[in-house]
Structure 1
């Protein structure tokens, strides 16, 4: 199953929080710090990320063939809501599925009776399922707050600070890759999705 990002997420860590973590008080390096937050987040977020899950709310499109099985596990949780289902019929014409005919149980998509695309096109990506995934912002209280787990947020801040403080990838006299730090990996490990 191939997954594409249709709508990119908003940043899950604010510039103000990153600057406070890095103990930066002036505005002269705001663009650099924003870039480091984006780099740290993209390293672990979504279809290309190490974590195997969506962080900020984003629209993803899962593509599969008509023989997807009885239950379709949507990758990159948490799944917020289903947006649309489309498929190619036997003539190769795109059809829209009725969302009332399917149910999302956690990250599993289950048909009420049978999938609407049964007997449709046999092309590899004939079925396209769009859904919102990520940790939404809770705006029910006085001030909106992200539902992103604190450990993931802390890991992004640590990675941002590492990038800010260590602007090179090699030490004098040696050439080595810069691995993910042990504290960051330990913070993220419980949230990693392996399939």
Structure 2
């Protein structure tokens, strides 16, 4: 059962500052600040979240995870590392939407897995793909809590895109991600054994 994912709130800022990127690129002028900020956001988005290359949330953000029903003793969700369960909703068999008490569920897991347990059993729900939804927060509360090599991967990727602004560089071997970035991603990606 693949959950439906909706990002409710994006991270307030990337885990790397514009100033750090400018130092990395040895840029002192402010005339490229807007473009560099955009590169930081794009590099972060490439790695961040359940759909990113890492499969994990880097900075604090919130997601809605919707499923057709609770299954078994625990429901695995792809939002890691989860930090809180903010709201739970169900669509009852009669089609009415109802808020449920988040304290009736337990969010548990670690840096690689997140599960939701229904403490009093799974509620009855309508036959729809979004019948049961959970609003979950995940990610680090500060940039310092993001692994330094992941912050370096963002710098490398943004730097690569700054230097290579076209989709194809003639006369070179094409790659999806620069080798250094790919190595760092492989070390931290969910489901990967380096």
Q: Distance in 1 between matches of 2:169 and 2:64?
A: 41
TM-score by length of 1: 0.88
Over 6 Å off, 4+ runs = none
Secondary structure class of the residue paired with 1:46: coil
Secondary structure class of the residue paired with 1:41: helix
Superimposed CA distance per residue, residues 68-122 of structure 1 (whole angstroms, 9 cap, x where no aligned partner): 332112213110111101001111111111111111112211121212x2x3212
Matched, 1:60 2:58: no
Matches within 5 A, 1:7-156: 7-10=9-12, 11-106=14-109, 107-115=114-122, 117=123, 119-137=124-142, 145-156=143-154
Q: Distance in 1 between matches of 2:98 and 2:42?
A: 38
Match of 1:142 in 2: none
Q: Distance in 1 between matches of 2:171 and 2:163?
A: 19
Q: Distance in 1 between matches of 2:189 and 2:180?
A: 14
| Unpaired stretches in structure 2, ≥5 consecutive residues | none
Secondary structure class of the residue paired with 2:177: coil
**Kept after mapping to 2: 8 A contact 1:4/1:47:** no
The size of the alignment, in residue pairs, is 185
Superimposed CA distance per residue, residues 13-52 of structure 1 (whole angstroms, 9 cap, x where no aligned partner): 1111111111111101001111111111111111331111
Match of 1:180 in 2: 177
Match of 2:5 in 1: 3
Matched, 1:162 2:160: yes
Q: Distance in 1 between matches of 2:140 and 2:157?
A: 20
Q: Distance in 1 between matches of 2:46 and 2:32?
A: 21
Q: Distance in 1 between matches of 2:8 and 2:31?
A: 33
Deviation at 1:173, TM superposition (A): 5.6
Match of 1:141 in 2: none
TM-score by length of 2: 0.88
